[in-house]
Amino acid sequence: MPASERAESFLEVHEEWATGRITQAQAAERMGVAVRTFRRYVARFRAGELKLLKDGSIDRYSALRVPEEEAAEVVGLYRRAYPGWSVQHFFDAYRTRHNGRRSLSWVRRCLNGAARGPTTSGNGKRPPPVQQATHCQDQRPVQTEPEGVLLHQLGSCRAWIPAANWHLTVTLDDATRRVYSGFFAERRTIWTAFRGVRDTVERFGRFERLGLGVTSSEHWKPGPSGVANRRHHAQFDRALRELNIAISRRPPAILMRAVRLFSTLSGRLPQELSYHDIDDIHTANKFLDAYWPRFNDEFQPDSKASPSAFVPLGPRVFHRLDDVFCIKHGGRIIPGNRIQLGERTLHIPSSEGQSCRLGAKVVVREYEDGTMAVFKGRDKLFSLGRRDPESERPK
């Protein structure tokens, strides 16, 4: 029986490969098959000489072979709606949004061959064995302790959408990889750190420890109060102490688990925002509210239900969270109906001047909306409106 075109192609490609002119990957690409399929052809051809060509098995396709039309449709979907997405990210969208039925390996081969180009040049050899995971390279998340024991707060300022740099603050659990709070802000301030913790304790309760994903050279930018950056760290530590939450000094292994998950999020979130045509921060935050449950379902480790270490807040603590997540300044009353706060002063309204004793020590609490309140001990003396720079005079 005369050899078919496919058989002739194999003979030609096999000769070039045997003489070292092309690699196995290049030979498989010319035949339109996978590298492993080409290796099987070679093994059978060597074992039975011309039997592979005479029985016509090289021309037969598997009954389970995916139609070329379906492969072209997947490639077109990727090019049209998901350009630049990673294979894993596109596969998740392919299965959930488009009811795809094919496997991840098939989608990867399909995209690498047509839509994304070859991943590597390749040398026709088998890849080296994967190294065993070390103490800081776990292959998959394994829950070793209850949720609510150790939480991480990570942040990144980057162009999440074109021509707009936002700061993303994410608070997540170390054991379950669950994201409890995540939002965009125009810039990173102490209020973004406060909000991440407050959103968590309001919904789930008090946790045990918090690890911050910042280095000593990073500082929060001045908020409405204009307080020096170095004091914001002390204010944040003070707020956590009032809630009996400890600051964790994380070893590299624990830190890397959180950083890897945050890196995955940083790679996917810009593509999701672009897919949904989001161009303002308010719409982006509304999108995140619906995005976190889907993200948690995909990346949480498979584990049996375990007890939670979260402790519900009592009614008294819950109602005084505004006084916990605020900036507190110590000062004293000086002549002229003024409060001296370090190197600056605040003017006391004339209607409240009678309630202040000259030289008395007070605490000024500044809230996120810019309003202030003056306390002496636990007693509130009076409230101030939003901070007015004109009413502050240098010492």
Query: Are 51 and 44 within 8 A, CB to CB?
Result: yes
Q: What are the helix and strand counts (H, E) for the chain? A: 13, 11
Between 220-224, 305-309, 320-324, 332-336, the lowest mean confidence (pLDDT) is in 220-224
User: 40, 25 in Cβ contact below 8 A?
Assistant: no
Of 351 and 173, more confident? 173
Whole-angstrom distance, CA of residue 195 vs CA of residue 7: 67
Query: Could you count the other beta carbons within 10 Å of the beta carbon of residue 58?
Result: 19
**Of 139 and 349, more confident:** 349
Say whether pLDDT at 337 is over 80.
no
Query: What integer best gives the mean pLDDT of the chain?
Result: 77
The whole-number average pLDDT for the span 289-310 is 79
Residue pLDDT, tens place only, 32-69: 778 888 888 888 777 765 555 555 555 555 666 778 88
The secondary structure of 311-352, three-state, reads ECCCHHHHHCHHHHCCEEEEEEEECCCEEEECCEEEECCHHH
Query: Is residue 139 over pLDDT 70?
Result: no
- 201: exposed, middle or buried (Cβ count in 10 Å: 0-12, 13-18, 19+): buried
Domain limits, the chain = 5-59, 68-115, 150-299, 326-391
pLDDT: is 364 or 5 the higher one?
364
What are the Cα distances from residue 395, in Å, to 173, 328, 336, 341, 359? 45, 19, 13, 9, 16
Q: How many other C-beta atoms are found inside a 10 Å radius of the C-beta of residue 321?
A: 18
Task: Give the H/E segment covering residue 172.
Answer: strand 164-173
d(CA 244, CA 250): 18
Q: DSSP for 51-65, please give it.
A: HHHHS-GGGPPPTTP
pLDDT at residue 148 is higher than 60? yes
Report the percent of the chain where pLDDT is more than 70.
Answer: 73
Q: Which residues, other chains included, contact 138 with Cβ-Cβ below 8 Å and sequence gap of 6+?
A: 257
State residue 181's pLDDT score. Answer: 93
- d(Cα 204, Cα 182) in Å, to the nearest integer? 15
Burial of 30 (0-12, 13-18, 19+ CB in 10 A): middle
User: Where does the pLDDT of residue 248 fall: very low under 50, low under 70, confident under 90, or very high at 90 and above?
Assistant: confident
Beta-carbon contacts of residue 171 (< 8 Å; ≥ 6 apart): 151, 152, 153, 179, 180, 181, 182, 196, 197, 199, 200
Residue 84 token pair: 């630049």
User: Who wins on pLDDT, 182 or 250?
Assistant: 182
CATH code, residues 326-391: 2.40.50
What pLDDT sits at residue 132?
42
CATH fold match for the domains 150-299 and 326-391: no
Residue 131: which pLDDT band, with cuts at 50, 70 and 90?
Answer: very low
Backbone angles phi, psi at 276, to 5 degrees: -95, 10
Partners of 169 in beta bridges? 155, 183
On the question of pLDDT at 384 being above 70, the answer is yes
Q: What percent of the chain has pLDDT over 90?
A: 15
Cα–Cα distance measured from residue 321 to residue 367, given in angstroms and rounded to the nearest whole number:
11
pLDDT band at residue 130 under the 50/70/90 scheme = very low
What confidence tens digit (pLDDT) does each residue in 194-240 have? 999 999 999 999 999 888 654 433 444 444 443 334 456 788 889 99
More reliable by pLDDT, 160 or 337: 160
Fold of the domain spanning 150-299: Nucleotidyltransferase; domain 5 (3.30.420)
Give the Cα-Cα-Cα angle 350, 355, 360 (nearest 5 degrees): 110
Least confident of 75-79, 202-206, 219-223, 301-305: 219-223
